[in-house]
Structure 1
């Protein structure tokens, strides 16, 4: 089961969500600004009428106040009806210049009261109050709505229909466009997952409709082909080298055994060194051959006494100490561990040989408590310009990292100023994952 979100669905969902948000915002703002526009028109008409009255009032104070079917006016707050005066005591819902609007402007209830009141100073300390008249409350029954209201409702419905007619097709077009663009990308991802198969790599690449996707597919196929070719070359080199080394090593080992028989079982020191080198080379060749396999079989495991194994390796590599004053501090639990003996001998022997080869006079500490082995030795202080982290001898640390990665072991190298520590964790990562 694949984890994570598909890019196709992320892009499609993002576009659809964006269009939906725009549509919701537009639908919410349309009625609000429509109502604001209507009230602004009414307020502009009232202000013009009030200013016209002020000009005539300054010439003749007896000029009658404006009055028509839609609104009426009085001079002085005391002349206002009781309900109008009470509205002036609370903040208005909306204001346009001298015009104030009271009530719930966006209520769906047609009976909700909305009042428009204008306050216009007359210049002599008096104020003209103009307010709209609600003819629905007049005695004589309900008044038939004018034809203009029906026209306005029709216009609002037309605007709503036009908005839907624009956004719904746009939504569909964008969804189709995203699908058209992302579908080849999904096919490219699906095809790239088959490139690990050499037959799929050698077959003809499918077309992806877009030039950029085709160029990306060509580059991807070329890169995978180069990586596979390099891997095959490396595997062949390891296999050929290992096979070619095994024959002369077998000849050397047989001749050394023959010399040992001729000398009564005791070899001179020079031949002992050759014997040790042959044994190391034989182990290295077997390891390289095992690592070169694409799917190496698990190495056979046995119950190993690591204390005995380390003691044997120390005796084989003690000649590396020479005349240096080196003290070996060994703290190894003698409980048996189930591990592959050949791999343990190669890895631990390599680390121990490095420690004895490059150790300064002092103490070499070797400790093991399952599953961690620590080997620490004193070294000369490394120069700042030295970039190599390989204090290795023979296979070296880099190849040890590869070998331990194959085995599922973990290596940690800690370099301090004059101390070099290697920590080997022999807990198999595969076993841990299987236990989970």
Structure 2
């Protein structure tokens, strides 16, 4: 991704080069046209001078100019260097003509004498290249154009640098402030950037208000649910002690109540964590990932009631003891297991606990609506992993869902 400074400077330099290229093209074109005008003017002057002097045309009035009454009078040794016969008022040229050891610029001009004879005459002119007169003028012109081009590019680059420096400074301040929008908004000298800052601040405040309302609602909801859930679970424990298992008809209802109570307990803990989203005060503890997995499997086993499902556990490392935030790891593994149990109806669930990762794979049925394997549990796992900068990957196929969390 390019920096804004580089983009501005490159575009200004490109514009400068285009302008100088156009300027150079027209400068050379104008120079060439000017040379032709000078040559034509001198050729006409030579013609008029010799006509007034001799009242007739001489084949060789000077060493530099020759005047002929017709095209056929021009020697073949000269015509062979000319690209074509000039029309009236036209100048044709060849920039290289050799006569002996000398080299010339050759010009042929068809002049219509409306002042004296009302006839066309062909004027041939030579300019000796050995004197380098025109070349010196040409080189001088090229040097002047080159110097002007360099000066123009330097001035443009300097102007672009100073202009972009001010713009980049303002945008850099805006970018730094966007990373910490709780700080005061920087004062912008440009109206457009100030409008962007105002829009960002308004959006940030709106998002903050929404998050605060959401967190407040989740906290209140989780706290309001905790009391009745605790009473419900305590009542089920009391019924268990009083021997409700001796009454088969009531025991089935008791198990449904117990499962629902545990599910609501896990859900409220997840909602409470979502409301806090603060892991700064969580102290790492030394836990055994494999033992935690067995404990959570037993705790969630009621979700497999009346399901033809097998559990297969393979240890992913020699040791499964690790120093991690135990609360977060428990929430993650518990939600992954619950999600797999809830969205599986048959087959085998493969679990691989390790020191630095946890993998679980469950089978799904393509003819059911909830085969995505996703639920609020996976949303919570994703939230925790993002906050802790842990890796969380989901791989879905038509027949299975694999979830992997790596915390180190």
Please give the TM-score of this superposition, normalised by the length of structure 2: 0.65
Residues 225 and 268 in structure 2, CA contact (< 8 A), matched pair in contact too: yes
> What's the offset of the Cα at 1:226?
0.6
Q: Which residue of 1 aligns with 2:204?
A: 224
Change (3 A) 1:136 1:263: closer
Alignment gaps of 5+ in structure 2: 51-55, 84-89, 111-121
CA distance in 1, matches of 2:15, 2:342: 68
CA distance in 2, matches of 1:271, 1:399: 29
Question: How do residues 23-422 of structure 1 correspond to structure 2 at under 5 angstroms?
Answer: 23=20, 26-27=23-24, 30-31=27-28, 33-35=30-32, 37-39=34-36, 41-42=38-39, 64-68=58-62, 70-72=64-66, 98-102=92-96, 114-116=104-106, 118=108, 130-132=124-126, 134=128, 171=156, 175=160, 179=163, 183=166, 186-187=169-170, 190-191=173-174, 193-194=176-177, 196-198=180-182, 200=184, 206=187, 208-210=189-191, 212-252=192-232, 274=257, 277-293=260-276, 295-297=278-280, 299-333=282-316, 335-338=319-322, 339-368=324-353, 371-382=357-368, 389=372, 391-392=374-375, 395-417=376-398, 419-422=399-402
Query: Residues of 2 paired with 1:183 and 1:8: CA distance?
Result: 10
TM-score (norm 1): 0.62
Distance 1:380 1:372 in 2: 25
Q: In structure 2, do the counterparts of structure 1 residues 357 and 423 end up closer, same or farther at CA, with 3 Å as the change threshold?
A: closer
Map Cα deviations across residues 232-279 of structure 1 (whole Å, 9 max, x no partner).
Answer: 222222333334444444555555556666669999665566555555
> Is residue 102–residue 115 contact of structure 1 (8 Å, CA) maintained in 2?
yes
Instruction: Please give the secondary structure, in 2, of the residue aligned with 1:379.
Output: coil
- Counterpart in the other structure of 1:124: none
Question: C-alpha distance in 1, partners of 2:373/2:129?
Answer: 99
Distance (Å, rounded) in 1 between the aligned partners of 2:222 and 2:105? 100
- Across the aligned residues of Structure 1 and Structure 2, the Cα RMSD in angstroms comes to 5.2
Secondary structure, aligned partner of 1:359: coil
Q: Which runs of 5+ in 1 are unaligned?
A: 54-61, 104-111, 121-127, 138-144, 429-436
Q: Is the 8 A contact 1:69 1:133 kept in 2?
A: no
Is contact 1:290–1:296 with CA below 8 Å preserved after alignment?
A: no
**Residue in structure 2 matched with residue 433 of structure 1 by the alignment:** none
Shift of the 294–416 alpha-carbon distance from structure 1 to 2, 3 Å rule, reads closer
